[in-house]
Amino acid sequence: GENVEQHPSTLSVQEGDSAVIKCTYSDSASNYFPWYKQELGKGPQLIIDIRSNVGEKKDQRIAVTLNKTAKHFSLHITETQPEDSAVYFCAARLSNFGNEKLTFGTGTRLTIIP
Amino acid sequence: DSGVTQTPKHLITATGQRVTLRCSPRSGDLSVYWYQQSLDQGLQFLIQYYNGEERAKGNILERFSAQQFPDLHSELNLSSLELGDSALYFCASSVGTQIDTQYFGPGTRLTVL
């Protein structure tokens, strides 16, 4: 089955600096890679996603890059703000004989230092 | 607000008991997914329903079952509860059968004493 590894588990950055979170996946058949932000006491919120036919996608201060050859994808947050503090999860979708599932990474707790 | 609703927010019960968690998907979404989030296991996919039919299964225990009703709301039934079942249970929904953009509800926190 699919295995998704996420690093680092915790990350502290100064406000205004950039943050990068990396994930690797095991199954080359994976074709959809969302990123979720989870604030305390809330459910995960989709912030950006990328499909396997695209190498990079950007939405304002957030970008995701995908390297299919190396089987890794990364979340980049620029000009970080205090409200970016949260736990971030990556995920990968594997389609396996019609039985699809999203496998999540173990999360990165991002703290923005004012 | 994602548009996905879950009830109850909190549930405290004893070992051996049975509980039912409820989820209403976003308007227009036909797929419902259930996830378990615990400290040591992260977010684990349990099961997906699409328009009333089971679509995909993940790491769901035999003591757990789910269903999706004609009005598309879903219920997750957890029976013979154990201490280790204490976790956050999330429901998510999406438009179609394929796992794509999923919107998560606020979750139900289950505590088994």
pLDDT digits (tens, 9 = 90+) for A21-40: 999 999 888 889 999 999 98
Q: Whole-number mean pLDDT of chain B?
A: 93
Q: What is the pLDDT of residues A69-84, one digit of tens each?
A: 999 999 999 999 999 9
Whether pLDDT at B73 is above 90? yes
* A30 in contact with B, Cβ within 8 Å: no
DSSP state of B40: T
Give the C-alpha distances (Å, rounded to integers) separating B80 from B13, B64, B97.
11, 9, 31
Contact present, B30 and B49 (Cβ < 8 Å): no
d(CA B29, CA B84): 31
Give the pLDDT confidence score for residue A99 in this predicted structure: 67
Q: How remote is the C-alpha of B82 from its chain's centroid? A: 17
Taking contacts as CB-CB distances below 8 angstroms, the residues of chain B near A86 are: none
- Enumerate the residues of chain A whose CB falls inside 8 A of the CB of residue B33: 102
What sign for the dihedral angle of Cα A26, A3, B68, B54? positive
Instruction: Inspect the interface and report whether the beta carbons of A34 and B57 lie closer than 8 Å.
Output: no
Q: How far apart are CA B109 and CA B113, in angstroms?
A: 13
pLDDT at A42 over 70: yes
pLDDT of B101: 84
Is residue A37 within 8 A of residue A28, CB to CB? The reply is: no
Of B57, B99, B103, the CB nearest to A93: B99
Instruction: Determine contact, residues B23/B4, Cβ cutoff 8 Å.
Output: yes
By the CB < 8 Å criterion, does B5 face chain A?
no
Q: Give how far A43 is from chain B: nearest CA, Å.
A: 4
